[in-house]
Amino acid sequence: MKSIDMGSDEFLAEIEKTKKFADKVNKQFGWVYNPNEDVNEGVIMGLARHKMLYKKRFCPCFMVFENKETGKHESADNRTCPCKPAIEEELPEKGVCHCGIFCTPEFAEAQKQA
C-alpha cells in the first residue's frame, strides 16, 4: 500500500481540494458542517487520504477493499462521498451523515445548544 506523508505538500494540497469539495456538497444539498470541528477535520483528512490512495473520496468510516474480479477499489456499501445512504436516508431521517461531517442546519443548531 502506498504511504502518505501527512505533512507533505501533496497531502496538504489534497486537504484544500477536499475542503472545497465538501463546501460544494454542503451548498448543493443545503447542508452545513458539523459544529464539532474535530469531526470535520478527521473526516476531511480521511477523504483526502482515500482520494490519494484510491482516486476516490470513499467515506473514511467504511472499509475499502479491492474487488478481486475487477481489481478496483470499493468501499463497504459503496460509500463514495457524498454517499447515497447519507443523501437518501441519514440526513433526511437523522439530520447527520454516518461520518458526521454533513448535517442539516437544524441538527447543527441543536448540537450547538446541547
Q: What is the pLDDT of residues 66-85, one digit of tens each?
A: 889 998 898 887 899 999 99
Q: Where are the domains of the chain?
A: 30-113
> Is domain 30-113 annotated with CATH 3.40.50.970?
no
Could you list the beta-strand ranges (E) of 1-114.
32-33, 64-66, 73-75, 102-103
- What is the distance of C-alpha 2 from the center of its chain? 20
Residue 58 grid cell: 470513499
Q: What is the DSSP letter of 83?
A: P
Per-residue pLDDT reduced to its tens digit, 24-51: 999 999 999 999 999 999 999 999 999 9
